Amino acid sequence: MASGSTGSRVSCGRDLNCVPEVADTLAAVAKLGFDFLCMPLFHSRLRREFELEPAKSRSGAHTRSDLLLCGRDWNTLIVGKLSQWIDADSEIETERRNSEAALAQELNFSAYLGLPVFMIPLKGPNCANLARLLLNHIHTGHHTSNFWVRVPLMASEDTREDLIENEPGPCIDDTSVDEKTWSWWHSFRTLCDYNKRICLAIDVGADMPSDAVIDKWLGEPIKAAILPTSIFLTNKKGFPVLSKAHQQIIFSLFKLEAQFVFTGTSRHTEKDFRSYLQYLEYLNQNRPTPNSYELFAKGYEDYLQSPLQPLMDNLESQTYEVFEKDPIKYSQYQQAVYKCLLDRVPEEQKDTSVQVLMVLGAGRGPLVNASLRAARQADRKLKVYAVEKNPNAVITLENWRFEEWGDQVTVVSCDMRDWAAPEKADIIVSELLGSFGDNELSPECLDGAQKFLKDNGVSIPCSYTSFLAPLSSSKLYNEVRGCRERDKDPECHFETPYVVRLHNFHQLAEPKACFTFKHPTTDMDNNRYQCLRFSVGCNSVLHGFAGYFETTLYKDVTLSIKPATHSPGMFSWFPILFPLKQPIAISRDEDVTVRFWRCNNGKKVWYEWAVTEPSCSAIHNPAGRSYTIGL
C-alpha cells in the first residue's frame, strides 16, 4: 500500500504513464504482486487552457470520474502523478500562469480523491514558484496527502550516452555534477521550510554518483525509490539482476523502509514482470543480518529522548532492568576489576591481602556482582561497599546481601558525596557515564568521592573523553522542531540535547575529541571550553552535532559508542544530539567550526554551543536557560 511500508516484505508499486482503464490496470498490477499503482490523474496529452478563449471555456470533464474506483482503493492503492508538461517556474508568463492553474487543479483533484501520496517531479534548480504553490496548497486544505518530490540522483544531461569519444568537451568538475540534483532538492525543501509532508522519491539511474554523495542522499527523508527496468542486467539464467553498486543503495534503502516503484517496460520479455519483484524480495531476504545493537534499537530510530538525570531523579526499576541486560558492559567491568586485582595483589599475598572496593552508584547491584565474579576469577580477597542514593534500589541491594552476598558486601544508603566512609578504598567502581561521557555528572560525583580513595588507589573508569561530529538530517531537525512546548521559550527545544538512535542522517566528518576527564585528579575544576574544526568536503547543510564517548576502564579495557571503535553488541548508550536552531548551508571548500562550553555554577551543570564557521549561529543555551543537569 502507498500509505506505509508493510514491515518485513518490500512494498512495491508500478509506475505507468498511460492507464486506459483504471480498475482493470489496478487489478492487473495487483495480480503481478504490486502493492500500489503510480499514474497520472489527467491525460498526458490534454494540456488544459486556463487563459485563452475558446479553449478556456471548453465544456466536458477534464478527466475521468472518481466513481471508477471505490474510495478505499483511491485512499490506499493509487499514487497520483503531476502532468509532465506543467512548468510553474516557466519564464514565459502565459505558460507559467497556465501551469499554476493546472497544478492547482491536479493538487485539488488529488485531495478530492483522498490519495495518500501525490508525486511531483523536480526538473531543475528553479523551483521557487512550484514550492510556493505546493506550500499554499498544504496550508489551505484539510487533506492529509503526502507529497513525493521526484528527484534524479544524476541530472539527465550528465548521463548522456551520445558523447563522441576523444572529442574535446567542456571541462566539468565531477563533484559538482554529482551534487547538482541534491542542490535542487535542498533548495526546494528549504523553500518549503522542511515541511514534514514533503518527502523525497529518488530516481535511481544507470549512472550513479560517488559513494560520498550517495551517503548524503541517504541522510534525506527518502520515502520511495524509482527503479527503471533499464538499470537491470541479465544473469546467466535470463533473470533481471542489479549491479553491486545498485545493490548497495537498495540495501541502504531497505534500512530506511523506503518503498520501491518500478517504471519502464519489461526488458526481460521471456520472463514475467514478477521476476523484477522477486529479485527485489530476494535482496530483501538476503540483506545483512542486523547485529544485537540494531535489534535492541529497533523502533527507537530517530526517536528523541531526554537524557537521564540519575543524580537528580531516582530511576525506575524498569530503567535499571534495560541497562542490566547489556551483555558487553558488565563483562568489560569484570575484566577491568580482574586485571586491577591481579596488579595490586601479588600471588604470594593473595591469602592475606584484602582489597577494599567501593561501588559508587550501585543501582540494583550489577557492578557488585561483576566485581565479586572478578575476585573469584582472580582468586583474590575482596571487601565491597555498595553505595546507592536511590532508597528504592537499596531495597534490592539489601535483598541481594541477605540472599547471596552475605557479610562480604556492606550496603550504604547515601549520596556518595555526603558519605563518611569508615575506611579508604583501594578501588572505586562507578557507571555514571552518559551518552556524552560527563553529561550525567560523573566528574562532580567522583571528585566528591575521591576523598575516600587511597593515595595509590584506582578509579574504574580512570578516564573518559567525549567526541563531536557535525551531521545533516532533516528528519532529526523536524523531530526537534516538533518538540516545542507551550509554556516554555519558543526556541527552548533547540537548546536541549537529546539521546537518539541516529538513523536517517548523514555524518559530515569524523568525530573529534571534545572534553576529557581523568580520575583520580588534582584538578577539581570541571568547567571546559573546546573549539573544534571539521573539514566537510561536500556541499551540505548542517543541522547539529552528534555526541559520543570513549572510556578507559582500566589499562587496555575500554568501552566506546564512537562509531569507529564502538564496543560490539553494547547497547547501554545511544548517541546524543546537540541541535541547531537554524540549518547552516556549507560549501564543499568550507570548514565547520564549533565552540563548546561545559559550565558549572555549584548547583547545576549545562552545555553551551555555537557555530562560528562558515557563518555564526547564536550561542545556544546561554546560562543554562533551556537545559541544565541538577547537582
Cα separation, 303 vs 440, in Å, equals 20
Amino acid at 268: H
Amino acid identity for residue 91 in this structure: E
**Is the CB of residue 387 less than 8 Å from the CB of residue 416?**
yes
- In angstroms, the CA 97 to CA 87 distance is 9
Sheet-wide strand order for 591-600: 528-535, 591-600, 604-613, 629-630
The phi, psi pair for 317, rounded to 5°, reads -55, -40
Q: Could you tell me which residues are beta bridge partners of residue 152?
A: 203
- How many whole angstroms separate alpha carbon 590 and alpha carbon 109? 45
Sign of CA dihedral 555, 561, 593, 172: positive
Distance CA 345, CA 328 (A): 26
* Cell numbers describing residue 541: 547543510
How far apart, in whole angstroms, are the C-alpha atoms of residue 409 and residue 73? 67
**Backbone conformation region of residue 628, classed left if phi is above 0, alpha if psi is from -120 to 50, else beta:** beta
In terms of Cβ atoms closer than 10 Å to its own Cβ (0-12, 13-18, 19+), residue 398 is middle
Return the residue matching grid coordinates 526488458. Answer: 267
**Distance, CA of 40 to CA of 63 (rounded, Å):** 10
- Identify whether the C-beta of residue 543 lies closer than 8 Å to the C-beta of residue 474: yes
Helix (H/G/I), strand (E/B), else coil: 254: helix
- Residue 364 CA, chain-centre distance (Å), reads 32
Rounded to 5°, the CA angle 149-151-157 comes to 150
163, 164, 168, 172: CA torsion to nearest 10: 20
Find the angle CA(56)-CA(60)-CA(63) to the nearest 5 degrees. 95
d(CA 345, CA 383): 14
Alpha carbon 602 to chain centroid distance?
Answer: 35
Q: Name residue, grid cell 497520472.
A: 40
Residue 293: count other Cβ atoms within 10 Å of its Cβ: 17
Q: Known catalytic residues?
A: 431, 440
**In degrees rounded to 5, what are phi and psi of residue 417?**
-75, -20
The answer to whether 415 touches 389, Cβ cutoff 8 Å, is yes
DSSP 3-15: TS--TTSPPEEEE
Q: What span, in angstroms and rounded, lies between the C-alpha atoms of 44 and 453?
A: 80
Can you name the residues that pair with 385 across neighbouring β-strands?
Answer: 358, 410
